[in-house]
Structure 1
Amino acid sequence: MNDAHPAPTIFGALWRYRWLSLAIVAVVVLISLLVPLLAGDGRSARARIVLKAPDQSGVLGIEMASESSFLRYVKQRALFVTSDRVLDDARARLGGVDSLLELRGAITAEASSSGESIELNVDGPGLERSVLIANAVIAAYQDQSRAEVAATTDKTLQTLIAQRTAIVAEAAGRPTASPISSAAGPTLSDLDKQIARIKVVAAQFADGVSFVDFASPDGASPWRDLLRDLAIGAAVGLMIAAALAWFRADRDHRVRDADELTRVVEEPVLGEIETLPAQASLALRSPGVPPLRSYQLVASGLRTTVGSGVVLVTGASGGEGTTTTTLQIAGAAARDGLQVLVVDAAIRSRDLSRILGLSDWPGLTSIATGAASLAQSTHPVHLGDGIGFSVVPAGHEQRYSREQLRSALLQQVIAEMRTRYDLVLVDLPPLISQPETSSLIGVSDGVVVTVRRDGDLGSLRRLREQLHLFGGTITGYVLTFAGAAPVPRGADPATPQPTR
């Protein structure tokens, strides 16, 4: 048996704990959707304000000497978006419901990565409200920006007009040929050009906005956020589920299926026995019930690997179906025409003897103590149609010693069993519960080990070591409770009564 448990794979661990993994992923996805809502996200609204490049002549009081100057200008305008002037205007447009502090906390405005626009994000109490706030802020920004440009233009124009008026007044009443009158003409012409240019540039620049991508409740933003949250939640949930599944699988040294059992043992797996309903499972202990097809395959595999002789059937612990497996193999072998003897070596629990109604009859302990011979301790069990097998029960409940189970008398009787029967099946209890039965291992021709699905691999490893220590040869394994139950069988026949 391989000492090292095969390292689990991520996909294998996820499949093994698939329902738990799905639950973890679902919980993480749900959390990823609920956290933004509980945090007041409400699906943020986004908008974009693309700015015009101011005239490089600086007639509006904005200097555009280089590309970095424009980027600096965009950053300044992004700050203006969240200024008191703009937010007060937006608040008035919204009916004064939101306070200035609430609006400033919900709005984020910053220059885009390309440096040509202002990215506006509003994280309000709901999508529709966020859209309203975003569009109100944009409208307020445009109005305030337009007013700002108009104020700057008016101030400049008033200065130029005042200069023109002063020049005209000074030149009035002077001769046309005077130096002052001669200089006034070109100066007035230059002032008129500046005034006209400022008016044209101001009209063209207006609010300084080239175009606006308004926020919309019908846009893709909420769905994009939803899909983003779903993707993040699914990815994080899958990573957590994979880590937990792998961690658990790496420490869960249990037999999950026949493939896993095959990977950790060298001997063959003779068969897998499906899980049956309680009533059908009890019926299998009745020898008169035809053996399951899966047990028939086990019996065929056993005849191929061992042929004939004394075969022990045991498990690492109780409840692994050892007694049922012994009776089923015996029934299948007897129906195939073999002379079969079943020996109940579980001299403490005596399950097989009780099932067959032989609890108080002479048996193995009687043979070991010399109180009865093999013939006196053997009892036939009829299966119907002239078919049957013989049974040596556990024997009378009397005191015995380990030495008696190791006695030469018992060894001789086992040799006699081997010569008189084609197949001797010994229902051996787990060695941990009855170590005195270990004397039977060395005189056997093979051992069939039953392994319950989800059984502990550590216990199986210890059993293998004990069997090898006492000179036993493992013939193969039978995986019990391995899968879903088949369609229920018909009515259970009456349990046959043994006769002497």
Structure 2
Amino acid sequence: MEYLRALRARWRWVLGGVALGLAVAVALILLVKPQYQARTQLFVTTPAAEGTELLSASSFSQQRVKSYAQLATTPKVLDPVVRELGLPVDATELAERVSVAAPLDTVLVDITVLDTEPARAAAIADALGRSFVAVVDQLERTGDAPSPVRISTVRDAAVPTEPVRPVPVLYLGVGLLLGLLLGGATAAARHRLDTVVRTEAQVAALVPAPLLGEIPFDKVAAAEPVLVRRHQGARAEAVRSLRTNLQFVGAVSEVDSVVITSSVPGEGKSTTAVNLALACADTGQSVCVVDADLRRSRIAHYLGLVDIVGLTTVLLGRIGLDDALQRWGGGNLHVLTAGEAPPNPSELLATEAMADVLAALRERFDLVIIDTPPLVPVTDGALLAAKTAGALVVVGAGRVRAEDLRRCLRALDNSGARALGAVFNLVPHRGRTASTLYYATDSRPARPLASVGSSPADDGARGLPEDHQVRGE
């Protein structure tokens, strides 16, 4: 079953192998020079009397035929043929084109000749038959006595009209079979060597925490990473499902602050953080999203906010927390942008000032969502996760290797942080599911995901640089 899954997942490799096999077969058909086959047949008899002597003569002929079959390809028989026809080959090379067969329990000798010229193939077969008869007659004579064996030609060689090589059907069949084997073996090898996380089952096996959400890939997410204008779709519903599952986690153990991180860049953690914050604010919760990715901040750009002051400004004591917070869209969502990029992000986030900022935000808001850098390149996210209720690990389908995901989880474990769950992001569509069919037929006008009015920030969510969900943070 695993092999069949590998073939289905990597069918392009199988198709490529088949195409290569057929291409080689076609090339051989075009490059191999056609060969024609001509055949002559000889009949061996022994003159004998009646009765028992006739039976003995028949047995004698059959025994002789076995030796004659090997005699036909010797230089003694072939050299006269080469001289007679003026062939550009010697006896050894001609022997490679000649095959001799003696059917069992018969006194027949079949001589077959292959040549690139049909007329020459027939001429060689006839000349070979004549030379064979002469040589046998010479070898079987004893003194002046006549040969006890008589050989007659019962079928002269006819000039062939169709080549026997190459055989297009055979070549194409062998090419197809070898192509299938090559493509299948390549697909199986890549399946075993490929460590990229692509399926929900792989995420469940690697992450020792529940899978809280699966967010499908959306081709328009590059232009609209924030779910404000487009809310009636599979991606928006997946974010709502993530919000609900996170609330269930919070019902078991209080979740007032959560870190959103990933293993490597490009898995979509920043868009996940923003859209989750909007979805939670839509339920009436007061939510603050903090851009703690001080190396590659994205939150302000996604929401169309000013990033002159922010988290770094507060941590350095240049501005108060109240002055740095920005209310977005007139609703329940507040944003603490990253601010200016510092030279030492890890050291800044590890300070007591950062712990104080988090404590103040938890007192003020129902939920604090913190976007942090990926955990494999840097440890910022692990440091902050240890100061919060835990971390949501965003796993980009086809974007992270299993070993990098393990390193990410080890970083959380080593820092004493808790992995609340995983979010499987950029999941490719596998057919038209019930949810996609539902939203495809929904003709109601779209409304914002969050209950907010129109604002300049809304317009700022459009026309953003391309590929925010695909390669953005």
TM-score (norm 2): 0.70
Q: 1:301 aligns with which of 212, 223, 242?
A: 242
Matched, 1:107 2:97: yes
SS at match of 1:341: strand
Partner of 1:134: 121
Matched, 1:251 2:193: yes
Partner of 1:71: 66
Q: Is residue 54–residue 64 contact of structure 1 (8 Å, CA) maintained in 2?
A: no
The C-alpha deviation readout for 1:254-310, integer Å capped at 9, x for no partner, is 223444444443444421431525xx4132247455375224314313432434532
The percent identity for this pair of structures is 21
The change in CA–CA distance for 1:412 and 1:275 in structure 2 (over 3 A counts) is same
SS at match of 2:222: helix
The C-alpha deviation readout for 1:354-390, integer Å capped at 9, x for no partner, is 33344445433344445555443322111xxx75522
Q: Is residue 273–residue 480 contact of structure 1 (8 Å, CA) maintained in 2?
A: yes
Q: 2:216 aligns with which of 273, 281, 285?
A: 273
Q: Indicate the larger mover: 456-465 or 112-121.
A: 112-121
- Distance, in Å, in 1 between the alignment partners of 2:65 and 2:20 is 48
Q: Indicate the larger mover: 445-454 or 29-38.
A: 29-38
- 1:411 alignment partner AA: A
Following superposition, which runs of at least 4 residues in structure 1 exceed 6 angstroms of deviation? Answer: 145-153, 398-401, 484-487
Q: Is residue 268–residue 477 contact of structure 1 (8 Å, CA) maintained in 2?
A: no
C-alpha deviation, 1:441, in angstroms: 0.5
- Distance, in Å, in 2 between the alignment partners of 1:310 and 1:213 is 94
- 2:334 alignment partner AA: S
Q: Is residue 310–residue 339 contact of structure 2 (8 Å, CA) maintained in 1?
A: yes
- Distance, in Å, in 2 between the alignment partners of 1:265 and 1:215 is 75
SS at match of 1:276: coil
The change in CA–CA distance for 1:112 and 1:266 in structure 2 (over 3 A counts) is farther
The C-alpha deviation readout for 1:195-247, integer Å capped at 9, x for no partner, is xxx9xx99xx67153x579674458x447x33333344344444444444444
Partner of 1:444: 388
Matched, 1:356 2:303: yes
Gaps of 5+ in 1: 1-7, 161-197
SS at match of 1:83: helix
Listed as ranges, the matches of 1:242-391 within 5 Å are: 242-269=184-211, 270-276=213-219, 280-285=221-226, 287-290=228-231, 292-305=233-246, 306-307=249-250, 308-360=255-307, 362-369=309-316, 372-382=319-329, 387-391=331-335
- 2:78 alignment partner AA: S
- Distance, in Å, in 2 between the alignment partners of 1:26 and 1:401 is 53
Bigger Rg over Cα? 1
- Distance, in Å, in 1 between the alignment partners of 2:36 and 2:214 is 61
- Distance, in Å, in 2 between the alignment partners of 1:119 and 1:66 is 15
TM-score (norm 1): 0.67
The change in CA–CA distance for 1:77 and 1:347 in structure 2 (over 3 A counts) is closer
C-alpha deviation, 1:352, in angstroms: 1.0
- 1:459 alignment partner AA: D
Q: 2:406 aligns with which of 461, 475, 478?
A: 461
- Distance, in Å, in 2 between the alignment partners of 1:427 and 1:233 is 54
Partner of 1:4: none
Q: Is residue 296–residue 332 contact of structure 1 (8 Å, CA) maintained in 2?
A: no
Q: Is residue 111–residue 129 contact of structure 2 (8 Å, CA) maintained in 1?
A: no
Q: Is residue 106–residue 124 contact of structure 1 (8 Å, CA) maintained in 2?
A: no
- 2:12 alignment partner AA: W
Q: 1:49 aligns with which of 13, 16, 41?
A: 41
Listed as ranges, the matches of 1:33-44 within 5 Å are: 34-35=27-28, 38=31, 41-44=33-36
The change in CA–CA distance for 1:22 and 1:286 in structure 2 (over 3 A counts) is closer
C-alpha deviation, 1:464, in angstroms: 1.0
Q: Is residue 295–residue 325 contact of structure 1 (8 Å, CA) maintained in 2?
A: no
- Distance, in Å, in 2 between the alignment partners of 1:216 and 1:17 is 47
- Distance, in Å, in 2 between the alignment partners of 1:398 and 1:260 is 37
Q: 1:480 aligns with which of 415, 418, 426?
A: 426
- Distance, in Å, in 2 between the alignment partners of 1:260 and 1:362 is 41
More helix by share: 1
- Distance, in Å, in 2 between the alignment partners of 1:50 and 1:444 is 98
C-alpha deviation, 1:462, in angstroms: 0.9
SS at match of 2:65: helix
The change in CA–CA distance for 1:115 and 1:364 in structure 2 (over 3 A counts) is farther
C-alpha deviation, 1:328, in angstroms: 2.0
- Distance, in Å, in 1 between the alignment partners of 2:175 and 2:183 is 12
The change in CA–CA distance for 1:9 and 1:49 in structure 2 (over 3 A counts) is farther
The change in CA–CA distance for 1:135 and 1:86 in structure 2 (over 3 A counts) is same
The change in CA–CA distance for 1:402 and 1:244 in structure 2 (over 3 A counts) is closer
- Distance, in Å, in 1 between the alignment partners of 2:63 and 2:224 is 90
Q: 1:405 aligns with which of 349, 359, 364?
A: 349
Q: Is residue 362–residue 377 contact of structure 1 (8 Å, CA) maintained in 2?
A: yes
Partner of 1:176: none
Partner of 2:468: none
The change in CA–CA distance for 1:85 and 1:438 in structure 2 (over 3 A counts) is closer
In the alignment of these two chains, the number of paired residues is: 425
Q: Is residue 262–residue 394 contact of structure 2 (8 Å, CA) maintained in 1?
A: yes
